[in-house]
Amino acid sequence: MNTAALDNTAARPQADAAAQEDAALFRKITWRLMPLLCACYVLNYLDRTNVGYAQLQMKEQLGFSDAVFGLGAGIFFIGYAVFEIPSNLMLAKIGVRATLLRIMGLWGTASAAMMFATTPTQFYVLRFLIGVFEAGFAPGVLFYLTLWFPSHRRAQATALFFMAFGAAPVVAGPIAGLTMTYLDGALSLHGWQWLFLLEGIPSVLLGIAAFAWLSNGPGQAAWLSPAEKQRVARLLADDHAAHDAGGRHTFGAAMRDARVWLIGFMSFLIILGIYALSFWQPTILKSMGLSVLQIGFYAVIPAVAGIAANIVVGRHSDRRRERRWHFALSAVAGAAGLALTTLFMHEPLAAVLCLALASIGISAAFTVLWSVPGSFMTKRAAAAGIALISTIGGSAGLVAPMMVGALKTMTGGFTASLYVLSGALVLSALLMLVALPDSALGRARH
């Protein structure tokens, strides 16, 4: 009798049972963490991009030019970039609870104060301060996820988090359209003033909720049993050991790692499209003859498409443990959507469908890309590396609004900028396929 075969047969049910227990454990963790983190990210998106809708009224009522708006939209990212790495390094020391309370309380207050801006200088200062206060939020949460999820489960968790980024426009458009249409003039306030107020205050309240609800890591989670805490710790330790990149533990090591810079540049190319659309899509739709209210509801279509892509592609990438082609094909799809939009600039429905294809590709590519850093950085290096990648990528938020505004001024339309953004996505796909080394993909390489 073959005893090895018997041993394998006996071990298989045990392995299956352990896999089911692990799946149930991480579902429990997901349901505890992700709803609140996603709600925070929705407000993060609203408070940094609501100026894209507000400017539909602000430019006329305050006399702001496209150049003023483009600089004000972009200057946010100067403050964001300068303070992002210090914020993330501080998070690693003081924990996510205190960090989210600080970040969300301050950004919500500054965002609400935007209702008092009446001059370009005030506009610039408040946008800069919002960037300073928001710095570290998204990379901080991404680092936080590395404390809970092994790398082979992280793309799905990341997809859920970025789903909020995609879901935000679903509510952003209708909220902005309804607020600016029906509250315009209420209590002697303009519609755009109400928009800043009603989207700023909830961030403060949710920061308080995050402090009360979240724990800084599995070891401090009172809602996990001792056995569950030990299981998470063991899985994470095994995962870190498997992906330990030779003891890279410091910010200096992250600065010297070419993989970090390459992923940061790829993130920059993707985020160019994200923020160009976030700030200028309302203006693109307005140029097609749509009202503010119509713009708000048309914007839902690309947002819903992006959410679906986040979930489906992130889950499939995790299941196949493959990143390269999931990213590259998504980026090319996004490029095709942006390029096709230029053919339908006078047909709103067709243009929105093309923008939906762009949203599908950009959202999926962004999700898959952010599942990569944890595959080659250890826990201590992850805070610095993720912050550096996010800072490099986030600088696209400064470039994109001003670039699109400048090209619009030079050419009289959006066609040139859409082609530039499309080219950036194609370049990111090529870099993933030919430049990123296998060592950056850990177990995800195929």
The half-sphere exposure of 159 on its side-chain side, counting CA atoms within 13 A, is 25
Q: What is the pLDDT of residues 372-382, one digit of tens each?
A: 876 666 555 66
Q: What is the pLDDT of residues 319-376, one digit of tens each?
A: 887 888 899 999 999 999 988 988 887 788 888 888 889 989 998 898 888 778 766 6
The average pLDDT across 163-190 equals 83
User: Which residues have CB under 8 Å from 220's CB, separation 6+?
Assistant: none
Helix 151-182 with 51-62: angle, nearest 10 deg: 30
Residue among 95, 71, 84 nearest 147 (CA): 95
Residue 171: in which H helix or E strand, if any?
A: helix 151-182
- Give the C-alpha separation, 438 to 390, whole Å: 21
**pLDDT for res 3:** 54
Start-end of H helices in 343-395: 348-369, 379-394
> How distant is the alpha carbon of residue 414 from its chain centre?
24
- Give the C-alpha separation, 304 to 360, whole Å: 9
> How distant is the alpha carbon of residue 436 from its chain centre?
21
Q: What does CATH list as the number for 30-444? A: 1.20.1250.20
The average pLDDT across 196-222 equals 91
CA Rg value for the chain: 22
Distance between start and end Cα atoms, the chain: 37
Residue 446 pLDDT grade (very low, low, confident, very high; cuts 50, 70, 90): very low
pLDDT at 404 over 70: yes
The average pLDDT across 119-126 equals 91
Residue 95: in which H helix or E strand, if any?
A: none
Of 249-258, 290-299, 330-339, 399-408, the least confident: 249-258
Amino acid at 416: A
**pLDDT for res 122:** 92
Helix (H, G, I), strand (E, B) or coil at 222: coil
Residue 444 pLDDT grade (very low, low, confident, very high; cuts 50, 70, 90): very low
- Give the C-alpha separation, 169 to 174, whole Å: 8
- Give the C-alpha separation, 276 to 73, whole Å: 10
Domain chopping of the chain, boundaries: 30-444
Q: What is the pLDDT of residues 215-262, one digit of tens each?
A: 888 888 889 889 889 988 888 888 767 655 444 445 666 677 788 888
Percent of the chain with pLDDT over 70: 87
pLDDT at 173 over 90: no
Residues in the chain: 446
